[in-house]
Every structure is written in structure tokens, then in C-alpha cells.
Amino acid sequence: MKQEEIYAKDNDSTVKQFVLLGFSDLPNLQELLSVVFTIIYLTILSGNSLMIVITMLDPALQKPMYFFLANFSSLEICYVSVTLPRVLFNLWTQDRGISLLDCATQMCFFLLLGATECFLLAVMSYDRYVAICNPLHYPLVMNHKMCVQLAVGSWVSGIPVQIGQTWQIFSLHFCNSNLINHFFCDIPPILKLACGDTSVHEVSVYAVAMLFVAVPFMLILASYSKIIFTILSLPTATGRAKAFSTCSSHLLVVVLFFGSATITYLRPKSNHSAGTDKLLSLFYTIVTPLLNPMIYSLRNKDVIAALRKLLLKK
């Protein structure tokens, strides 16, 4: 169904429905994209669910590192479920309309889960820092109570700020157009549709991004600088290789997620282009959740062993 572009008449009125253009600029690839995204979504669900199952069932994986990995896999399932089902619905039905409330709800959950991912990645780096730099104190510091507190803190700490930011953005009047040139309701394309000066809101976005993206990333860098220094000071090559192997998977996920998110939210509005935003968004909304199970399973001997045991039982 073809959606109609709507303009509000003046600054005192606002559009009531948006249209997610998504990948409508590729009309000949709609069926192929729907198949590809369906396969990707099912792969993300099954892969991350498998990670959760094996970390819960295998006694060898009852460690803080895998407790956080299970949380991360659960987060990835939630995170991708905020965006991909809507993309699939739009591709299947060609009905790209989304109400103001649905758009705000999608953005709110997307921002909440994005903040959770930033904090959880920082917590996982702290866990590796304690394990490698203070191994004798590791069982005492990363006890079950501390792990639960850090996980819960990661999940809930962004709630008030991100709800407030969503409310602030959707309190704007949208009179330029109702066409969102993106595949979900993200901040940059929504701000482009707002009437008048949005510089205050842009500053607010940068401030929140600094808090939820830059600060966790700096904590991760601090943790890994100490980890690398400790690894290099280990006396044997075997010890260095083993220590590095426990960190390399996490570091790869950090680079993929924070790299694309930083470029998206910390560059000026004038430098935003729809094509670039879509491409970058694909990395932190789809590629990272897709690669997460493969990265952690292929580079972790304990996870591979747990998978083998599970398959042998089946």
C-alpha cells in the first residue's frame, strides 16, 4: 500500500503518523530483503537462545563471565526484536505507516536497550580486568551478589534518562514531513522532521550519548589498557595467549558496536545522510547481535565444549 507524504499546516500542528521509508528505494529487492532479514532474525534468535541455554545448563560455565554473556545474549534478542519485526512487517505488507505513539515506543525501547548494551559491555570488560589483573581476588570481588547487582544496574540505569529523552524529542512539532528515511524510529532522522531550531535537542542528544556511549567506552579502554599491560608482563607465551583469548571476543564486539554507534550519535546533524545512517544502524542493530554467538562460541574453548556436550546428549 502506498503511503502519502503529509505536511502539517503550521508550527502549532503536527503530523500524527509517520512513514518508515526503510528500503523502499530498492523496489526490485523487496522479496529478497524480506527473505534475508527473516533468516537473519531467526539466526539471531536461535543463536543467542542457544548461548543462554548452554550457560544455564553446563556446570563448567557457571562463572561470572558466562553469567554476563547470558545477559548479553538475552539483551541482543530484545534489542533486535525492537527493530527487525517492524522491518519485516513493512517488507511483507508494504504498509510503512507507523503512529506517533508506536514510533515513540520503538525509539524508547531502542534507546533503553542500547544504553543497557553500553553498560553491560563495560561490566564485562571490568569482569575480565579483575580476572586477569587480580586473579587471587576474583572469586571475592566478582561474587554472585556483585554479578547480579552489576547486571541489574546495567538493565535499569538508563530507564529515566532515555524515557526523558524520548519524551523531549516527541514533544517537538513535526511539520516538515512525515517521511522517515530510515528503517526504524531513530533520533537523527526524527530530528530532521522537526520544525524550527532543534539545536537544544541536538546538544541534549550529544550529552546523553557522552554519558551512555563515551563514558562506558572510556571505562572499557581503561580496563583493557591495564589488561594488555598485565598480559604482556606474563612470563610465558602460553599464559599470554590464554589470557588474550578470553578478551579478544569481547573486544571485537566492543569495536563493532561502539564504533558504529559513536559515528551515528556523535557527529553533527549537518553530516548525517540517510544512506550512511542506515548502513551504520545495520551494524549495531543487526550485525552485532548476529555475530555475537559466533564470535563467543568460535573463540572460546569452554563454550565449544559445552556445545559438543549438548549435541551429544541430543
Give the pLDDT score at 287.
83
CA atoms of 217 and 118, how far apart (whole Å): 8
Give the pLDDT score at 169.
92
Residue 9 lies in a domain: no
Residue 149 lies in a domain: yes
What's the CATH number where 190 sits?
1.20.1070.10
Q: Using 50, 70 and 90 to split pLDDT, how confident is the model at 271?
A: low
Which residue type occupies 263? I
pLDDT digits (tens, 9 = 90+) for 193-232: 888 788 888 888 888 888 888 899 899 999 988 988 888 8
Q: What is the extent of the structural domain holding 74?
A: 17-313
Q: Which helix (H) or strand (E) holds 189?
A: helix 187-192
CA atoms of 237 and 235, how far apart (whole Å): 7
pLDDT digits (tens, 9 = 90+) for 148-194: 999 999 999 999 999 999 999 998 888 768 888 888 998 888 988 88
Residue 74 lies in a domain: yes
Q: Is the predicted pLDDT of residue 243 greater than 80, yes or no?
A: no
The more confidently predicted of residues 101 and 308 is 101
The more confidently predicted of residues 3 and 143 is 143
The more confidently predicted of residues 272 and 188 is 188
Least trusted range by pLDDT, from 99-103, 143-147, 279-283, 284-288: 279-283
Q: Is the predicted pLDDT of residue 291 greater than 90, yes or no?
A: no
- Parallel, antiparallel, or unpaired: how do β-strands 17-20 and 97-99 relate? antiparallel
Q: Is the predicted pLDDT of residue 300 greater than 60, yes or no?
A: yes
Residue 114 lies in a domain: yes
Give a three-class secondary structure readout of 267-282. Answer: CCHHHCCHHHHHHHHH
Give the pLDDT score at 12.
47
Q: Is the predicted pLDDT of residue 13 greater than 80, yes or no?
A: no
Give the pLDDT score at 1.
45
Give the pLDDT score at 176.
66
Give the pLDDT score at 150.
96
Residue 2 lies in a domain: no
Give the pLDDT score at 149.
96
Residue 80 lies in a domain: yes
DSSP classification of residue 180: E
**In terms of Cα–Cα distance, which of 186, 179, 185, 180 is closest to 6?**
179
Least trusted range by pLDDT, from 4-8, 48-52, 193-197, 243-247: 4-8
- How many domains, in total, are found in the chain? 1
Give the pLDDT score at 191.
87
Grid coordinates representing 305 are 565444549
Residue 11 lies in a domain: no
CA atoms of 174 and 158, how far apart (whole Å): 26
pLDDT digits (tens, 9 = 90+) for 32-55: 999 999 999 999 999 899 889 988
Ramachandran angles phi, psi of 86, nearest 5°: -65, -40
Give the pLDDT score at 277.
73
Q: What's the whole-model pTM score?
A: 0.86
Residue 8 lies in a domain: no
Q: Is the predicted pLDDT of residue 268 greater than 70, yes or no?
A: no
Give the pLDDT score at 288.
82
Highest mean pLDDT among 134-148, 236-250, 297-311: 134-148
Question: Are 4 and 96 in contact, with CB atoms under 8 Å apart?
Answer: no
List the beta bridge partners of residue 98: 18
CA atoms of 173 and 56, how far apart (whole Å): 48
